[in-house]
Amino acid sequence: MEDLKANAKAAAFLDPRFEPLTQTEFATTRVEVSLLSAAEPMSVSSEADALAQIRPGVDGLILQYGDRRSTFLPQVWENIGEPSEFLRQLKLKAGLSADFWAPDVKLSRYTVVKYSEQDLP
């Protein structure tokens, strides 16, 4: 529980990608926790093969190429519904070009069990 509190605080106030949460925003902020399954390496022969294997709305993806790495939770499918755009944005997040692909790109998938503050009794 302490780890959960520390990570929530860090996400709200210490993430360098965003401005810290303000007191006004705090009143309307709702907490959601995603419990990730173990990552499952995907065996893909090409980007087209990867796109054919991705399960929209189900898979969270981890992309790794050399020392570059990025991930999107399955919830990102709510904003990026097309597998090709999902993968494109994942590559950009890793600092790669949107059209990048190489034979040694590694993909892994995972699922989540999501808990929301609004789901509590």
Average pLDDT over residues 5-32: 86
Q: CA nearest 61: which of 75, 48, 49?
A: 75
With a cut of 70, say whether residue 120 has pLDDT above it.
no
pLDDT of 1 reads: 72
Looking at the structure, tell me whether residues 40 and 28 fall in a common domain: no
| Residue-range definition of the domain harbouring residue 12 | 1-33
pLDDT, mean of residues 86-102: 97
Q: Which 8-state DSSP code applies to residue 76?
A: G
In the chain, where do the E strands start and end? Answer: 32-36, 40-42, 60-65, 68-72, 106-110, 112-116
> What are the backbone dihedrals phi and psi of residue 17, each rounded to the nearest 5 degrees, phi first?
-80, -15
4 and 47 within one domain: no
Taking alpha carbons only, the member of 79, 55, 74 closest to residue 112 is: 74
Q: Please indicate, yes or no, whether residues 69 and 40 belong to a single structural domain of this protein.
A: yes
Looking at residue 7, its pLDDT comes to 82
